[in-house]
């Protein structure tokens, strides 16, 4: 198989993995942020939308 095709397969694997790592981390951080910033300590009277 052409070397570039092997590289392209590697790009596909590493690329999708990297994107999902970023996305999943962001999902968890947003969930966490939402929970934390909704605590009375952080939540002002009018800041929720």
Partner 1 sequence: MDFLLSGLLAVTWQQWLMFLIGGLLIYLAIAKGFEPSLLLPMGFGAILVNIPLSGVLNQTIEGVGNTQGIIQWLFETTISASEALPILLFIGIGAMIDFGPLLSNPKMFLFGGAAQFGIFFTILLAALLGFNLNDAASIGIIGAADGPTSILVSQIMNSQYMGPIAVAAYSYMALVPIVQPFAIKLVTTKKERMIRMEYNPKSVTKLTKLIFPIVVTIIAGLIAPQSVALVGFLMFGNLIRECGVLGSLSETAQTSLANLITLLLGITIAFKMQAGDFINTNTLLIMVLGLVAFVFDTIGGVLFAKIMNLFLKSKVNPMVGAAGISAFPMSARVIQKMGLEEDPTNHLLMHAISANVAGQIGSVVAGGVVINIVSQMLK
Interface ranges with partner 1 (CB under 8 A): 2, 4-5, 7-12, 14-16, 18-27, 29-31, 33-34, 37-38, 42-44, 47-49
CB of 27 to partner 1, least distance (A): 4
Q: Quick one: how far is CA 30 from the chain centroid?
A: 9
CB of 48 to partner 1, least distance (A): 4
40-47 LR contacts (CB < 8 Å, sep 24+): none
CB of 30 to partner 1, least distance (A): 4
What is the per-residue DSSP string for 5-16?
Answer: HHHHHHHHHHHH
């Amino acid at each position: 198989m052409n070397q570039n095709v092997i590289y392209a397969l590697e790009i596909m694997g590493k690329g999708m993995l990297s994107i999902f790592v970023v996305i999943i981390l962001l999902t968890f951080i947003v969930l966490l942020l939402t929970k934390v910033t909704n605590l009375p300590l952080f939540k002002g009277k009018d800041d929720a939308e």
